[in-house]
Amino acid sequence: MAEDEVILLGFWASVFGIRPRIALEEKEVKYEYREELLVGNNKSPLLLQMNPIHKKIPVLIHNGKPICESLIEVEYIDEMWKDKALLLPSDPYERAQARFWADYIDKKLYDPAKKIHITKDDELEAAEKDLIEVLKMLEGVLGDKTYFGGDNFGYLDIALIGFYGWFPTYQTYFNFSIEAECPKIVGWGNRCMQRDSVAKTLPDQRKILELPKLIRQRLGIE
């Protein structure tokens, strides 16, 4: 794959943006990462050109061709660079399970994870409860495995790990400990952090603690 040009447009704190980034790191693909200035709505011309329909990150640009939607990008990366670190299992049934649970994460986890930071006080407890319910379900899927992929870090681990990056914010802002309720998920996240691909790309902890405050200010929420 000589002379491959790989560019990734992302946002440092995005739970979706991190997915293709970790995939590229796991595959040891050389890529150029470009940070999009999402706070203040200053999306780059390249982002708007490459993802005109959704205008969202992440966008993977491979030799000038854009691929959009984070999980679609992870599959693309897995198919394109298949000589290294396979991210999806090889068995079709196991692949279906991984895709099912990644879809579950997108359908069920994102909303309460976001809501906790932008909701009014009287809805906070419900959002926390929803979040824990989903994480407990995922704990059941993880079981006693090292990773969701079993011994191999893979697609489903990549789908979830971005959310782990936000756990410290719940503790700091709401004294809401994920570890107390879902120790296995936190243990899993800690193990993932031992991997270069994750340690390198997960948001800086101090930086992320400032973000919810900024978000609430911009949305005019007290």
Residues that bind other proteins (CB under 8 A): 53, 62, 65, 67-69, 72-73, 75-76, 79-80, 92-93, 95-96, 99-100, 103-104, 137
Query: Shortest Cβ distance from residue 146 to other proteins (Å)?
Result: 23
Interatomic CA distance for residues 156 and 7, integer angstroms? 23
Q: Which is nearer to other proteins, 13 or 67 (CB)?
A: 67
- Whole-number Cα distances in Å, 5 to 19, 31, 32, 188: 19, 7, 8, 33
Q: Which is nearer to other proteins, 79 or 204 (CB)?
A: 79
| For other proteins, the closer CB: 50 or 202 | 50
Q: Is the N-terminal amide bond of 58 cis, ω within 30° of 0?
A: yes
Q: How far is the CB of 89 from other proteins (least distance, A)?
A: 11
Is the peptide bond prior to 45 cis by the omega test (within 30 degrees of 0)?
A: no
First to last CA, the chain: 51
Which H/E stretch holds residue 122? Answer: helix 121-142
Cβ 108 to other proteins shortest distance, Å: 9
CB of 68 to other proteins, least distance (A): 6
